[in-house]
Amino acid sequence: MKLNLIVAMASNMGIGFKGTIPWRLKKDMALFAKLTKWTKDNSKRNVVIMGRRTWESIPERNRPLPNRLNVVLSESQQQIDNTLTCKSLESALQLLQDPLYLNQIENIWIIGGASVYKEAMNHQSCHRIYVTHVLEDFECDVFMPAIDQGKFRLVSDPMVPQDADEENGIAFEVKVYEKV
């Protein structure tokens, strides 16, 4: 099964600061929800895979992310409530091959953080990276690993707006990178 990554990053490649996202873009959050929930087959749902700190960054009232199977990677914790908790990305992907899951899931979305993005973008099953480019610098303590321009090319996706947009004075545009 192919992996899609989805991330919002600042011009300085920052994605997080003090356990949260340093900007608030409702339109981008809506796009995140739309893309990660969308399935061709209504009887199936998608998987979101994230690191433990990304899970903790989601307000308790909003987690698990609804209508998606929430998989959390953690070596330090056995089981996080309302999630499938796995000790590695590979073991998570292995588990999802089990017919119990395989028959009811459609897409796998990698939703961060930094090391999970890095491992996933170098994974043989990596397909696309959906990047919201926030067009200014933000103070951050977590950064997106570089996307190798030799390994990915820009493509378009009809579900993604083509044009740059703006919210609360913050400009942003969404680009889709596909593994060559």
- Using CB under 6 A, list all residues that contact ligand NAP: 7-8, 15-16, 19-21, 50-54, 57, 73-77, 87-89, 111-116, 119, 142
Choice between 7 and 69, CB closer to ligand NAP: 7
Query: Is 55 exposed, middle or buried (CB count within 10 Å of its CB: 0-12, 13-18, 19+)?
Result: buried
Q: How many residues does the chain have?
A: 180
Partners of 179 in the β-ladder: 152
Residue 16, beta-bridge partner list: 142
d(CA 46, CA 69): 6
Minimum distance from CB of 118 to ligand NAP (Å)? 9
Nearer to ligand NAP, 21 or 35 (CB): 21
- As measured in angstroms, the least distance from the Cβ of 113 to ligand NAP is 2
Q: What residue is closest to ligand NAP based on CB? A: 113
Comparing CB distances to ligand NAP, the nearer of 52 and 63 is: 52
Beta bridge partners of 157: none
* Neighbour tally for 49: CB within 10 Å: 25
Give whole-number Cα distances, 116 to 28, 61, 62, in Å.
21, 24, 21
Q: How far is the CB of 121 from ligand NAP (least distance, A)?
A: 13
Q: How far apart are CA 175 and CA 104, in angstroms?
A: 29
φ and ψ at 154, to 5 degrees? -75, 135
Least separation in angstroms between residue 65's CB and ligand NAP is 12
Nearer to ligand NAP, 104 or 164 (CB): 164
Tell me the β-bridge partners of 132.
8, 174
Distance in Å, CB of 103 to ligand NAP, minimum: 25
**Shorter beta-carbon distance to ligand NAP: residue 23 or 152:** 23
